[in-house]
Amino acid sequence: MATFDDFQKLDIRVGKIAEVEDFPEAKKPTYKLKIDFGKEIGIKKSCAQLVKNYSKAELKNKLVLCVVNFPPKHIGPEISEVLTLGVPDENHDCILIQPERNVPAGGKLY
């Protein structure tokens, strides 16, 4: 069972999607994202399977929640620096977790 101390080890922050590109080399339909976490963390890259529920235009400037303190992970030829968080819809495709209101990029989940 996970403890509260385990939860506190995760650094989950609000980021604003700054750029969205297709990622045709990925095995499943995926976008390459550049996400702005503000001055403290800066811009980080993420790869996310969002193609079925979001267009590139819908994602641009969207606020999302991401784990920013996992080690970088290779996704095909790309490196994903943060884990963009979502939950499955009825078809098991990703729906992003996002703040209910407009909040500053870099804010930490607590």
Question: What is residue 32's predicted lDDT score, i.e. its pLDDT?
Answer: 98
**pLDDT-derived band at 59, boundaries 50, 70, 90:** very high
% of the chain residues with pLDDT over 90: 98
pLDDT, mean over the chain: 96
**pLDDT-derived band at 12, boundaries 50, 70, 90:** very high
Fold of 11-96: OB fold (Dihydrolipoamide Acetyltransferase, E2P) (2.40.50)
Question: What is residue 93's predicted lDDT score, i.e. its pLDDT?
Answer: 96
Secondary structure percentages of the chain, helix, strand, coil, to 5: 10, 40, 50
Give the C-alpha separation, 78 to 14, whole Å.
22
If you compute the radius of gyration of the chain from its CA atoms, what whole number of angstroms results? 14
Mean pLDDT of 2-6: 95
Question: What is residue 53's predicted lDDT score, i.e. its pLDDT?
Answer: 97
